[in-house]
Structure 1
Amino acid sequence: MPSSSPTRTRLTIFLSAAVLVLGGAFAAFYFASDRSHSANGTGSGDAKAATAMTTSPAKRTALAVSTVQAQEATWSQQLSVSGGVFPWQEAVIAAETSGLRVVEVAVDVGSVVRRGQLLAELARDSVDASLAQQEANLARARAAVSEAEANANRARRVKGSGAMSEQLINQYLIAEQSAKASVDAAVAALKSERVRLAQTRIVAPDDGVISSRNATLGSVVQAGNELFRMLRGNRLEWRAEVSAEQLSRVAPGQTARLSLADGSQINGSVRMLAPTLDPTTRKALVYVDLPTGSAARAGMFASGEILTGSSSANALPSSAVILRDGHSYVFQVDAQNVVRQIKVDTGRRQGGQVEILAPLPADARFVASGGAFLNDGDAVRVEAAA
């Protein structure tokens, strides 16, 4: 027991010394950290001041710009539409007789033909033979008529004299009528064979261009077999699809402008409007006549505009309109040469100009170009008006 007291005293002294050492170390770390933060704060303030001194002169530097004023112009009103190019009318040329062989094909796809021009020819040997037979039948019928007429005339002369019975007289008169009817039948049969002979020549029903050919040399045709298709008059039309609201603004005689796949443009004229709308698409067709000989071809799909009239427009150069975040802006320059950013709505575009839908002051100055480098409130230096 007496030996534990010195031990406890030494432990107490050791713990006290450890606490003093840790406390001194904590105090030293705290004061060092405080001095470091103070030094950093001072350096940051100096850097900010230096940055402000550096940027201040740049902010005062004015961007040189040219200005422009809004111009009042008269522009055409147009509807942007699209649709397919189709033949004005496509004639189907088919065989009108059966059992005859194709012996000549005179045209091919793309051939320009005139009304009545030979397209193909069928074998006519059997038709010639039938025609000769019908001519012989007609001659025989006419001979029979001559005999029947002579007998009927004799019967009429002796009628009532008792030289010939009434029954025989009636037979002669009826035979005369029957013979005449046989002549008429032979004439009709002969005419039918002549028509059939003419049908061996397949000719163009109108002026136009051959668009397809099914006729093959040596094939035997049947009545109704399609041999050719022809674009009548080589006329094409653009069938533009428009909505019900657009349809009310379109009228026959208006000018339409098409943009073709090769980049060329052609002008057409509205011929007629469809009387009904498609129940599925809720759109109507506008039929536009296209000029003959243009680059348009049947089956093309084209976009374009229909010019429906004209109206005035407030216009600025397209370079003065800046697109930011999906919106259009212009920069107006005030009397102190400070710009103000104004949000605008745009409309038609024509010849490097863009229509500003909201009214603009007539005497206001707007930055003509370079607006992409400006912000609201920037000072500018106006050099010259555009």
Structure 2
Amino acid sequence: MTKSRPSWLKWLLLAALLIALALGVTRALNKRKAQQAQAQAAALATQKEPEFQLTSSDVVALQPQRLAQAVGVSGSIKAVQSALIKAKTPGEISGLSKREGETVAAGEILARIDSTEAKARVRQAEQQAAGAKAQLGIAQRAHENNQALVQKGFISATALETSSANLAAAQANHLAALAALDIARKSLGDTILRSPLAGQISARMVQNGERVGIDARIFEVLDLSAFELEAALAPADAAAIQPGQTAQLTVEGLEAPVSAEVSRINPNVQAGSRSVLVYLRVPTASGMRQGLFAQGQILTGEIEGLALPLSSVRNDKPQPYVQLVREGRVAHVTVSLNRQGVLKGEPMLLIDAGSSDLKAGDSLLRVTAGAIREGTPVALTQAAAQAAN
């Protein structure tokens, strides 16, 4: 018995070792199979196309609309009346007190130019006019005396003609002296610079004590009671524009849109750009300033047809296009931008039914959906599906 127990333990230990080895091999094989299954699932997931979820704000149904036909305009706002005050006589300037942004009245004195020389010329012209007047009096009396002497036969008619000619020359010299006096007084008046209109100072170019020459710019004054927009249009667009048509403008810095009216149209086509200038009268509003950029639409009539928001059109391809949902996937359809209109202030694009793949009821993606690759599957939420229908 003592000799058989070690043999039994030996076989028992060998069996336990074999069982442990078999369990380890089985566990390793199961773990490897699990890893392979996970890798296959990950590979399948990467091969599956991503599906976009669209909300109601991303989709709109293409429907017939009645649009206001419009022509787009843009440009800078300018004051209808402005004045550039220049020096009309040379000299040292003084009396400058107004600065940019300050209000001035029509006829208000804004500056003075040294008038010493101008006053001296006025005095000189006055003395010359007085001398010419005295000479005219002498010639007048001499002519009257000669007329009496001719009647009595003391002098000849030739002497009377000479006296008459001297009187005419004296009269001409007196008139010339008076004209020179008017010119001197005008030059003296030009030393005082006045504002020709009521408004605000927009620019001040010189300082007190500077010596300025003729036509030197001193002030620029703007009348902010009325503005206008100068817009350059293509001849094809300008053909539909008429004075009196209304426009809706968005002005830089102003929250509310501004109504405008076509006041006049330039009869010439600009030589370089081949464009037509159209002028829109813009009413004044709080915060309106010259130079602000404005853009908007001139309403020229009404059109009806399939329409979509102009903001939905994308331009990241050679041709403008819109994104649609068809058979659960995104489709790209090229559109033409020739016919545009306005619906409740929003720019719209009218679709030509005869030359486009779009039709009523198509589910159009708004700009908020972003750019999605063509053919990508999409899923509409219940609210989005109702909006599309």
TM category, shorter: 0.5 to 0.7
The reply on whether 1:128 has 2:123 as its aligned counterpart is no
Q: Of 323, 327, 346, which residue of structure 2 is paired with 1:328?
A: 323
1:299 correspondence with 2:294 = no
| 2-structure distance, mates of 1:79, 1:270 | 12
1:308 corresponds, among 291, 300, 303, to: 300
Task: Name the structure 2 match of 1:11.
Answer: none
The verdict on how the C-alpha distance between 1:172 and 1:242 changes in structure 2, with shifts beyond 3 A counting, is closer
Moved more, 300-309 or 188-197: 300-309
Q: Structure 1 residues 156, 94: closer, same or farther in 2, change over 3 A?
A: same
Say whether the 8 Å CA contact 1:331–1:367 is kept in structure 2. Answer: no
Q: Residues 343 and 92 from structure 1, CA distance in 2 versus in 1: closer, same or farther, beyond 3 angstroms?
A: closer
CA distances 1:87-115 after superposition (whole Å, capped 9, x unpaired): 445433222223x3222125333344443
Write the distance in 1 (CA, Å) between the matches of 2:297 and 2:196: 35
TM-score, scaled relative to structure 1 = 0.62
Q: Deviations over 1:192-242 (max 9, x none)?
A: 222122212222333444332224322233322222333456543222232
Q: Give the superposition deviation at 1:291.
A: 1.6
Contact 1:315 1:353 in 2 (8 A): no
Match of 1:91 among 83, 95, 107: 83
Q: Could you tell me which residue of structure 1 aligns to residue 258 of structure 2?
A: 266
Letter in 1 for 2:214: A
Alignment partners' CA distance in 2, 1:293 and 1:382 = 42
The answer on 1:187 being equivalent to 2:187 is: no
Q: 1:134 to 1:248 in 2, by over 3 A?
A: closer
Tell me if 1:147 matches 2:142. no
1:79 aligns with 2:74: no
Q: Check 1:278–1:135 CA distance in 2 against 1; reply closer, same or farther (3 A cut).
A: closer
Partner of 1:177: 168
- Write out aligned runs for 1:333-352 (5 A): 350=343
Once the two structures are TM-superposed, the CA of residue 81 in structure 1 deviates from its matched residue by: 3.6
- 1:224-283 deviations in Å (ceiling 9; x for gaps): 222233345654322223223322232222222222333633222122334344454443
Q: TM-score, normalised by structure 2?
A: 0.61
CA contact (8 A) 2:247 2:260 kept: yes
CA distance in 1, matches of 2:331, 2:202: 57
Q: Which residue of 1 aligns with 2:211?
A: 220
Contact 1:209 1:234 in 2 (8 A): no
Letter in 1 for 2:131: R
Tell me which structure has the larger Cα radius of gyration. Answer: 1
Q: Which amino acid aligns with 1:286?
A: V
Q: Which SS does the other structure have where 2:173 is aligned?
A: helix
1: CA distance between counterparts of 2:300 and 2:189? 51
Could you say if the C-alpha distance between residues 277 and 136 of structure 1 is closer, same or farther in structure 2, counting changes exceeding 3 Å? closer
Measured on the aligned residues, the alpha-carbon RMSD in Å equals: 5.0
Change (3 A) 1:294 1:166: same
- Please give the residue correspondences for 1:58-73 in structure 2 after superposition, counting only pairs within 5 Å: 73=65
Q: Does 1:242 align with 2:233?
A: yes
SS at 1:290 equivalent:
strand
Q: Is the 8 A contact 1:87 1:298 kept in 2?
A: yes
Equivalent position amino acid for 1:96 in 2? K
Q: Which residue of the other structure, out of 220, 230, 246, is the alignment partner of 2:221? A: 230
- Count of aligned positions: 322
CA distance, structure 2, for counterparts of residue 192 and residue 382 of structure 1: 84
Counterpart residue identity of residue 273, structure 1: I
User: Structure 1 residues 129, 293: CA separation in 2 closer, same or farther (over 3 Å shift)?
Assistant: farther
Distance 1:183 1:310, change over 3 A: same
**Percent of aligned pairs with the same amino acid:** 26
1:286 aligns with 2:278: yes
Higher mean displacement: 218-227 or 160-169: 160-169
- Mapped pair 1:138 → 2:133: no
Q: Which amino acid aligns with 1:84?
A: S
For structure 1, the residue ranges without an aligned partner over 5 or more in a row are: 1-35, 52-62, 333-338
Hey, what does 1:26 align to over in structure 2? none
- Answer yes or no: is the 8 Å Cα contact 1:106–1:118 preserved in 2: no
Does the 8 A contact of 1:95 with 1:221 survive in 2? yes
**Residue pair 1:313, 1:355 contacting (<8 A) in 2 also:** no
SS of the counterpart of 1:189? helix
Structure 2 regions of 5+ residues with no counterpart?
1-28, 45-53, 371-375
| 1: CA distance, partners of 2:216 / 2:138 | 46
CA distance in 1, matches of 2:309, 2:143: 103
Counterpart in 2 of 1:199? 190
